[in-house]
Amino acid sequence: MSTGNMNLTLKVWRQKNNKTKGALVDYKLSDISPDMSFLEMFDVLNEQLINKSEEPIVFDHDCREGICGSCSMFINGRPHGPKDLVTTCQLHMRSFKDGDTIVVEPWRAKAFPVIKDLTVDRTAFDRVIAAGGFISVNTGNAQDANALPIPKNQADAAFEAAACIGCGACVATCKNASAMLFVSAKISQLALLPQGQPERYRRVQSMVAQMDAEGFGNCTNTGACEAECPKGISLENIARMNRDFYAAKFVSEEDI
Amino acid sequence: MSELNSNIPEGELTQKWTKFKSSVPLVNPSNKRSIEVIVVGSGLAGASAAATLAEMGYKVKCFCFQDSPRRAHSIAAQGGINAAKNYQNDGDSTYRLFYDTIKGGDYRSREANVHRLAEVSANIIDQCVAQGVPLAREYGGLLDNRSFGGTQVQRTFYAAGQTGQQLLLGAYSALERQIGMGKVEMYTRHEMLEVVKIDGKARGIIARNLITGELERHFGHAVVLGTGGYGNVFYLSTNAMGSNVTAAWKAHKQGAYFANPCYTQIHPTCIPVSGDHQSKLTLMSESLRNDGRIWVPKKKDDTRKASEIPEDERDYYLERRYPAFGNLVPRDVASRAAKERCDAGYGVGASKLAVYLDFKANTERYGRIEASKSGIHNPDKETCMRLGTEVIKEKYGNLFDMYAQITGENPYETPMRIYPAVHYTMGGLWVDYNLMTTVPGLYCAGEANFSDHGANRLGASALMQGLADGYFVLPYTIGQYLSKEISVKAIPTDHPAFAEAEAKAKGILDTLINIRGTKSVDHFHKRLGHIMWEKCGMARNEKGLNEAILEIRALREEFWRDVRVPGTSDELNTELEKAGRVADFIELGELMCIDALNRNESCGGHFREEYQTEEGEAMRDDENYAYVAAWEFKEGVNFELHKEELKFENIKVAQRSYK
């Protein structure tokens, strides 16, 4: 229903740009409906700020159905908030209680600098993909799709790795700001498929090198990334990536 | 009024594309290196076009407003992608896909374009599999297919409920590969605000860097728009929040005709609006209508819970009206029927703007089968429901979870409440066979153009068209134009045309900032959406459309007088971005109403209440309206109609019936 009865205190990170310092700012909100999504609650807050001639809070969002990977709020110390396997845009206010204080921060990582308020720069992910997250096949090169049968379990495993939405929650939650879950998901997807074999070892080396160059941390197996991933991407992918990375060291230069 | 030339190649339908490809002039590799192409948009059409053009050797610049090309709204497509592979050996063929698409579009699309789409559909699947897109497979290792509406074959390829995501990530990886090789320059968080024309030809764009607010000038020998549909003109739709018409509309104002703007697809099964603060609507896949029965109470304003309404007091209105197709009538028919019941006072839920989608009967049926499989004879109802729920969970679990997450209700226990919502726009920039707009050198691909779906798009055909245009059509057809441009040197961006276009874009931004009015951008957008939905939505009539045109004009005047955009234009300012987009939506909204008013017939997604059969079905007027309405923008937000006659030489035009 349009008006509800929840009264909330928000502590939201405000930062004008990447050259200035930011701070948490308090906002009071009343009559919030439990049926509203978390981002719609932000819409209400922003509308109130605009009506007071203040600048609205900037945050990334687009599809609002959990698939584009844009939304990126660190809510009460957890990426995408308190519920498992959902993104911020799929979180609803009924997951909170009347009278709650909610702290909202941007993703925090050296490789994800803040642009403004809750918006961060995640282009490092694109550069990691550009370093090798593909199969080198030009348009028009392809053979008939059914000429290459792929066992169903292998195709399903590749699909599970490919479900990553590139939101960066794994980096945000990791104490080392490691991007290993993201990078390994793409490496796994392609390493599990026959089409990915020719570039398998070259790919893992160049993507890992780019990941390091971007300033992401290393993995210390705490598993927070898997626990917080809205798409349930498995830690097994990191194991696969590490195995391929070490295997690549034993493959002769000519074979890479 | 003038006739438009669609540049369809001569010859027999099935040979047109083959002959075109064999005879289109080529550009040699050394010339390609000095030819620059701008691609705006990085969804299925934009990303695949940018990647392919770069692979061919052109210098490409690609722009998107999102923070990464991977986030374009193609990513949200659920169901699948059609292709005439005939892997299921069920009699599919290029011709059948062509025929189904023309018929599904209610005979308002161009035969030659649709046939080409059907021809290249199979190549798309090959290409995507080669890229490592994990499409669903059978145990034998071969690709799986499912059925979709409007067809009698299984030609839909899919990747669970995330087909759009997987196909887009395929195109994105191809694009990133070219970016990594330095062959595509990618501009993320950039929005195109103007097309630059020199001597009548498109020669570049003005783009705003959304982080710094800086206006940038970019030259291109040609410009390609793959900027998606305009469903957000209704404010509430299944589109992403950022989806907008601005790039296409700026092109329209520079001379590109806008075709069939009134053709809008309203999807019947979406989660209903829950309150005034709702920002977007969520789709529940068409596949649910396989096992869900749609009903409303027989009694008006019935306030009882669904479970308290006995069987004989329920009206399964689709089964009643369309016994042959029942709950599986096409999208436009199902949507209108739901609206009819709700308008008549039979809607359910607090808003009364919803109908039930009930899985109980089929849950029980599945349960009985399961019970019999496990040797339970004469199972009681409870056993049937328990076993049946497991079957339903396996088939639709993720959709049921999504529904429960949004509504807070358990759809295994109570029926889903659903209502139609704006989903896709068949109209768009007019393009010829080469996908070129009426501005030479300006191309348009994917949902942003108008070309392939007529007045109604079939399920699983949007992904097919986006990738067909980007991978297999545009990279060829653009050669016809670029082969004549090889002697044109890159034009420096200090050319007066660039300065003029930049000044124009800056003028609009400054105006928006300086109005300092009293109402937010969303306030205006919601009001526009309300007018469009009420008067140019699922059903339209002459009186309502005339009123809507006046209301929209008044809204436009008020917007430019009273909108409030906080902040400045030289920083990241999301309100300013929205303001520019809503300003364009307001102008487009008026044109949609004008187009709907002009089309005195009902066809596909366009339903004029005055033109229906006695049973309330859409009534086409092939004698007077078998044409594409292509509108030219005139000074002062006026529009002039141009017509492209549609000739059906290979298909017999007939009335659709689902009874």
Q: In Å, what is the CA distance from A100 to each residue of A79, A130, B600, B643?
A: 18, 43, 56, 60
A126 and A108, same structural domain? no
Residue A148 to chain B, least CA–CA distance (Å): 8
- Residues constituting chain A: 256
Q: In Å, what is the CA distance from B526 to each residue of A18, B226, B333, B439, B520?
A: 33, 26, 26, 33, 10
**Residue among B81, B77, B83 nearest B98 (CA):** B83
Residue B23 to chain A, least CA–CA distance (Å): 18
Contact B648, B111 (CB under 8 A): yes
Residues of chain A with pLDDT under 50: 1-2
Minimum mean pLDDT among B146-160, B299-313, B460-474, B605-619: which range?
B146-160
Residue B356 to chain A, least CA–CA distance (Å): 19
Cα-to-chain-centroid distance, residue A247: 28
Residues B223 and A115: their CA atoms lie apart, in Å, by 30
A192 and A160, same structural domain? yes
Q: Hey, which residues 95-124 in chain B have their CB within 8 Å of chain A?
A: 123
A203, closest residue in chain B (CA to CA): B177
pLDDT confidence bin for B2, thresholds 50/70/90: low
Structural tokens at position B455: 């007045």
Contact A253, A195 (CB under 8 A): no
Reduce the secondary structure of B83-137 to three states and give it as a string: CCCCCCCCCCCHHHHHHHHHHHCCCCCCHHHHHHHHHHHHHHHHHHHHCCCCCCE
> The domain B267-420 is classified under which CATH number: 3.50.50.60, 3.40.50.740, 3.40.190.10, 3.90.700.10?
3.90.700.10
Task: Please tell me which residue, B393 or B428, carries the higher pLDDT value.
Answer: B428
- A159/B160 CB distance under 8 A: yes
Sheet of B201-209, strand order: B190-198, B201-209, B215-219
pLDDT digits (tens, 9 = 90+) for B372-388: 999 999 999 999 999 99
Reduce the secondary structure of chain A to three states and give it as a string: CCCCCEEEEEEEEECCCCCCCCEEEEEEEEEECCCCEHHHHHHHHHHHHHHCCCCCCCCCCCCCCCCCCCCCCEECCEECCCCCCCCHHHCEHHHCCCCCEEEEECCCCCCCCEEECCEECCHHHHHHHHCCCCCCCCCCCCCCHHHCCCCHHHHHHHHHHHCCCCCCHHHHHCCCCECHHHHHHHHHHHHCCHHHCCCHHHHHHHHHHHHHHCCCECCCCCCHHHHHCCCCCCCHHHHHHHHHHHHHHCCCHHHC
Of the candidates A59, A91, A115, which is a domain's last residue?
A: A115
In a domain, A205, yes or no: yes
A107: left (phi over 0), alpha (psi -120 to 50) or beta: beta
Burial A124-148 (b: 16+ CB within 10 A, else e): bbbbbbbbbbbbebbbeebeebbee
User: Amino acid identity of B308?
Assistant: E
Contact B130, A143 (CB under 8 A): yes
SS3 B585: helix
What are phi and psi for residue A28, nearest 5 degrees?
-100, 135
SS3 B309: coil
Mean pLDDT of chain B: 95
Residue B413 near chain A (CB below 8 Å): no
Structural tokens at position A250: 């034993």
Whether the per-residue pLDDT at B1 is higher than 60: the answer is no
Task: Give the per-residue pLDDT at A254.
Answer: 66
In a domain, A218, yes or no: yes
- B137/A68 CB distance under 8 A: no
A186 and A103, same structural domain? no
Structural tokens at position A14: 């405000």
Structural tokens at position A49: 């700020």
Select from B53, B241, B578, B581 the residue whose CB has the most chain A CBs within 10 Å, as the one to mutate to test that interface.
B241
Whether the per-residue pLDDT at B208 is higher than 70: the answer is yes
Task: Please tell me which residue, A27 or B333, carries the higher pLDDT value.
Answer: A27
**Rg of the Cα atoms in chain B:** 25
Residues of B recognised as catalytic:
331
Helices (H), B425-473: 462-467
What are phi and psi for residue B655, nearest 5 degrees?
-80, 135
Mean pLDDT of B87-94: 96
Of the candidates A115, A134, A158, which is a domain's last residue?
A: A115
Of the candidates A65, A89, A115, which is a domain's last residue?
A: A115
Give the domain CATH number at A216: 1.10.1060.10
Task: Give the per-residue pLDDT at A2.
Answer: 43
Residue A137 with chain B: CB contacts under 8 Å: 127, 130-131, 174
A60 and A24, same structural domain? yes
- A135/B131 CB distance under 8 A: yes
A148 and A81, same structural domain? no
SS3 B467: helix
- B70/A123 CB distance under 8 A: no
A85 and A14, same structural domain? yes
**Of all residues in chain B, what percent carry a pLDDT higher than 70?**
99
Give the domain CATH number at A20: 3.10.20.30
In a domain, A126, yes or no: yes
pLDDT digits (tens, 9 = 90+) for B334-350: 999 999 999 999 999 98
Instruction: Please give the CATH topology (third level) of the domain spanning B496-619.
Output: Methane Monooxygenase Hydroxylase; Chain G, domain 1 (1.20.58)
Contact B621, B600 (CB under 8 A): yes
Task: Give the per-residue pLDDT at A255.
Answer: 65
Helix (H) or strand (E) segment spanning residue B270: strand B264-270
Sheet of B222-225, strand order: B184-187, B59-63, B36-40, B222-225, B442-444
Task: Give the per-residue pLDDT at A1.
Answer: 38
If one counts every other C-beta atom within 10 angstroms of the C-beta of residue B360, the result is: 19
pLDDT digits (tens, 9 = 90+) for B496-522: 999 999 999 999 999 999 999 999 999
- B67/A122 CB distance under 8 A: yes
Residue B130 near chain A (CB below 8 Å): yes
pLDDT digits (tens, 9 = 90+) for A187-211: 999 999 999 999 999 999 999 999 9
Mean pLDDT of B291-317: 94
Residues B287 and A104: their CA atoms lie apart, in Å, by 37
pLDDT digits (tens, 9 = 90+) for A155-197: 999 999 999 999 999 999 999 999 999 999 999 999 999 999 9
Token pair 């019936």 is found at B657
Token pair 């990303």 is found at B47
- B173/A61 CB distance under 8 A: no
If one counts every other C-beta atom within 10 angstroms of the C-beta of residue A24, the result is: 12
Task: Give the per-residue pLDDT at B3.
Answer: 64
User: Amino acid identity of A97?
Assistant: K
Taking each helix axis as running N to C, give the angle between helix A236-249 and helix A200-213, from 0 to 180 degrees, rounded to the nearest 10.
Answer: 110
Residue B52 to chain A, least CA–CA distance (Å): 6
Residue A141 to chain B, least CA–CA distance (Å): 7
Task: Give the per-residue pLDDT at A3.
Answer: 61
Domain ranges for chain B: 267-420, 496-619
Tell me the CA end-to-end span of chain B in Å, nearest whole number.
39
Residues A253 and A230: their CA atoms lie apart, in Å, by 38
Rounded to 5°, angle at Cα A169 from A163 and A173? 135
Mean pLDDT of B167-174: 98
In a domain, A140, yes or no: yes
In a domain, A106, yes or no: yes
Q: In Å, what is the CA distance from B71 to each residue of B67, B166, B316?
A: 8, 12, 40
In a domain, A93, yes or no: yes
Q: In Å, what is the CA distance from B626 to each residue of B6, B265, B305, B608, B617?
A: 15, 19, 47, 16, 18
A242 and A128, same structural domain? yes
pLDDT digits (tens, 9 = 90+) for B220-234: 999 999 999 999 999
A111 and A207, same structural domain? no
**Residue among B252, B208, B206 nearest B500 (CA):** B206
Contact B353, B272 (CB under 8 A): yes
Residues A226 and A212: their CA atoms lie apart, in Å, by 20
Residues A150 and B374: their CA atoms lie apart, in Å, by 33
A144 and A66, same structural domain? no
- Count of domains forming chain A: 2
Residue A243 to chain B, least CA–CA distance (Å): 21
Residue B41 with chain A: CB contacts under 8 Å: none
Mean pLDDT of B226-246: 98
- B130/A56 CB distance under 8 A: no
Mean pLDDT of B147-162: 84
Residue B397 near chain A (CB below 8 Å): no
Residues B82 and B122: their CA atoms lie apart, in Å, by 9
Q: In Å, what is the CA distance from B524 to each residue of A145, B58, B96, B637?
A: 49, 42, 45, 18
A66 and A81, same structural domain? yes
**Residue among B234, B222, B310, B307 nearest B267 (CA):** B234
Residues B638 and B486: their CA atoms lie apart, in Å, by 37
Q: In Å, what is the CA distance from B372 to each residue of B361, B362, B376, B392, B394?
A: 17, 15, 5, 17, 19
Reduce the secondary structure of B191-220 to three states and give it as a string: EEEEEEEECCEEEEEEEEECCCCCEEEEEC
Task: Give the per-residue pLDDT at B536.
Answer: 98
A108 and A221, same structural domain? no
pLDDT digits (tens, 9 = 90+) for B536-575: 999 999 999 999 999 999 999 999 999 999 999 999 999 9
Residue A36 with chain B: CB contacts under 8 Å: 275, 277
- A144/B408 CB distance under 8 A: no
A249 and A135, same structural domain? yes
Using a cut of 0.90, tell me whether the model's pTM lies above it: yes
pLDDT digits (tens, 9 = 90+) for B394-428: 778 878 988 988 888 999 999 999 999 999 999 99
State the complex-level ipTM: 0.97
Residues B208 and B246: their CA atoms lie apart, in Å, by 12
Contact A117, B431 (CB under 8 A): no
Domain extent, residue A180, equals 122-255
Residue A130 with chain B: CB contacts under 8 Å: 176-177, 179-180
- A142/B138 CB distance under 8 A: no
- A142/B572 CB distance under 8 A: no
- Beta-strand ranges (E) seen in B326-373 are 355-358
Q: Hey, which residues 28-57 in chain B have their CB within 8 Å of chain A?
A: 48, 51-52, 55
Residue A148 with chain B: CB contacts under 8 Å: 129
Task: Give the per-residue pLDDT at B262.
Answer: 98
Select from B52, B78, B243, B279 the residue whose CB has the most chain A CBs within 10 Å, as the one to mutate to test that interface.
B279
Task: Give the per-residue pLDDT at B341.
Answer: 95
In a domain, A153, yes or no: yes
Mean pLDDT of B115-127: 98
**Residue among B633, B635, B608 nearest B619 (CA):** B608
